[in-house]
Amino acid sequence: MTYFILQFLNGLQIGAIYALVALGYTMVYGIIKLINFAHGEIMMTAAYFIYFFMTLLDLPYFLAVILAIVFSVVLGVLIERIAYRRLRNASRLSALITAIAVSLFLQTLYAILFTPDPRAFPLTASSFPVLEIGEITLSSWTLITIVVAVIVMILLQLFVTRHKAGKAMLVVSEDLKGAYLMGIKVDRIVSMTFAIGSALAAIAAALYIVSYPQITPYMGALPGIKAFIAAVLGGIGLIPGAMLGGFLLGLVETMTRAYIPSSVAQLSEGIVFVILILVLLLKPAGLLGKSEREKV
């Protein structure tokens, strides 16, 4: 039982990170209907930013994270500005190919600049005090991750439902043309969405690299894809969906890894992809989504 609770908390921890990344995917998809493949790479660049701020400038972790968030926001907005904005009226295929190319570009650029070798992050989960609750011993970092992620999500939800700009974002995702006619500055809202998404990805990176203290140019790819699947699982375009999907995916992944016999452990890597195909087959709109007939 203690094993189960421990695995459950671990699942929530990685799920919280997936959920933060998934939010970026789902908000961008909700607004401009683009799978932003470069989103995972924003997480990767944020990890490098934090690493360099801490090792080269000797900044404390917290300050490094704040700075990395700022830099990631700038990067995310720049990507949208340079690569995506001109393609907003082009075919979907062009936009998707561009997104893939941007992701590939960032990966290779970082591999050339900083070599593809993994770098060890100076701060690890073991440097946080160990908690003992009854029979369960776990790092306090696990709880910190979950709590930070949940606070960020609550703030985001408040921003979207209460603040004017957040409401404008919802309106744009509802009907871009209509929002344009209502005098909402759509371009500014799209930039804001990319900024928020990038900030969330940077926070996710900050939480991720302490648990998995290895930084490589390719570290963003797999969590990125998994986070996208989480977004699809919860219902793409829906903010609560991304949160739910992220936590669920993290739980499923950790549980299969914990309980599946090691002889088929190889197969557990593919479990998230199987989930994706199952979701598309059984409930294509996602867990929270309503399937709507497309209007002409």
Among 205, 233, 249, 276, binds another protein (CB under 8 A): 276
Q: How far apart are CA 186 and CA 170, in angstroms?
A: 11
The answer to whether residue 293 forms part of the interface with another protein (CB under 8 A) is no
* Residues numbered 220-239 forming contacts with another protein, rule: CB under 8 A: 221, 225, 228-229, 232
Q: Return the closest-CA partner of residue 211 out of 134, 143, 112, 275.
A: 143
The answer to whether residue 256 forms part of the interface with another protein (CB under 8 A) is no
Closest to another protein by CB, 213 vs 224, is 224
Binding region for another protein (CB under 8 A) out of 2-10, 125-133, 151-159, 280-288: 280-288
Taking the complex as a whole, the smallest distance from the CB of residue 31 to another protein amounts, in Å, to 10
For residue 136, give every residue at least 6 positions away whose Cβ sits within 8 Å of its Cβ, in sequence order, or none. 2, 5, 6
Taking the complex as a whole, the smallest distance from the CB of residue 13 to another protein amounts, in Å, to 23
Among 26, 36, 98, 256, binds another protein (CB under 8 A): 98
* Residues numbered 30-89 forming contacts with another protein, rule: CB under 8 A: 32-33, 35, 83, 86-89
Taking the complex as a whole, the smallest distance from the CB of residue 244 to another protein amounts, in Å, to 19
Whether the CB-CB separation of 246 and 230 falls below 8 Å is answered with yes
For residue 145, give every residue at least 6 positions away whose Cβ sits within 8 Å of its Cβ, in sequence order, or none. 13, 16, 17, 207, 210, 211
By the 10 Å C-beta count (0-12 exposed, 13-18 middle, 19+ buried), 282 is classed as exposed
CB atoms within 10 A of CB 156: 20
130: part of which helix (H) or strand (E)? strand 130-133
The answer to whether residue 182 forms part of the interface with another protein (CB under 8 A) is no
Closest to another protein by CB, 70 vs 280, is 280
CA-based R_g, the chain, Å = 19
Q: How far apart are CA 48 and CA 274, in angstroms?
A: 31
Closest to another protein by CB, 63 vs 277, is 277
Taking the complex as a whole, the smallest distance from the CB of residue 138 to another protein amounts, in Å, to 30
Q: How far apart are CA 248 and CA 294, in angstroms?
A: 28
Taking the complex as a whole, the smallest distance from the CB of residue 112 to another protein amounts, in Å, to 6
Supply the angle between the helices 39-55 and 61-79 in degrees, to the nearest 10: 140
For every residue of 134-180, which 3-state class applies, written as one string? CCEEEEHHHHHHHHHHHHHHHHHHHHHHHCHHHHHHHHHHHCHHHHH
* Residues numbered 159-178 forming contacts with another protein, rule: CB under 8 A: 176-177
Taking the complex as a whole, the smallest distance from the CB of residue 232 to another protein amounts, in Å, to 7
Number of residues in contact with another protein under rule CB under 8 A: 49
Residues that bind another protein (CB under 8 A): 32-33, 35, 83, 86-98, 100-102, 104-105, 107-109, 112, 176-177, 180-181, 221, 225, 228-229, 232, 264, 266-267, 269-270, 273-274, 276-277, 280-281, 284, 294, 296
